[in-house]
Each structure stands twice: as C-alpha cells, then as structure tokens.
Amino acid sequence: MARFYFHVANGQTTLDEVGTDLAGLHAVRQEALGITRELMFGGGAAFWAGQPCRLWVTDEPNAAGRIILSLQLSALPIAARHDEQPHEQQS
C-alpha cells in the first residue's frame, strides 16, 4: 500500500494534506472517479455552467511530489431547444 493525495481545483483549490492509503494505480483511478462523480453531481451548478474542474493525485501532501494522475473536466452548456422533451423512463 502507498499513500496518495487527491487535490481539487474547481473555483477554489483544495490541497490534500492527509492522503489515502491505496493498493495501486487501479485503486487510485477508482478513487479519482468517485471524487469526480461527487464534484459533478454534488458540486452544484458551477460545474454544469461550464466552470472547469481539475483533480490531480500526487505522492506527497499539499500537491508536492510526482503527479500520478490528473483529470480535467468541464461541461459545455448548450441552450435547450424548444422541441426537446426530457427523457422519460419506460416501465
């Protein structure tokens, strides 16, 4: 196991000083996807309004050390057309 540090910039930068012990790169990727999911769906309207979000993982606290993984996401808002209907779930 190694300790990895997950940092986020989405309008403000949050640096991880505690870290998370994970078994390897596959586990780092899974953790990064979970954090990204939270940012997208729990982070509010800023992400969906086009504000870029960056998550990067290092091997030392406070964004020091080597970058192990970096993800950059942004949503590009597109004006809804009047003829579009929300998707309905079929039973």
Q: Which residue has the higher pLDDT, 37 or 47?
A: 37
pLDDT at position 88 is 55
Tell me: the pLDDT tens digits for 46-60? 777 778 889 999 999
pLDDT at position 7 is 97
Greatest mean pLDDT range, 9-18, 41-50, 76-85: 9-18
pLDDT at position 65 is 96
pTM confidence score: 0.78
Q: How far is CA 86 from CA 37, 47, 57, 80, 83, in A?
A: 22, 20, 36, 10, 10
pLDDT at position 84 is 53
pLDDT at position 75 is 82
Q: What is the DSSP string of 20-86?
A: EEESSHHHHHHHHHHHHHHHHHHS-HHHHTT--EEEEEESSSTT-S-EEEEEEE-----PPPTT--P
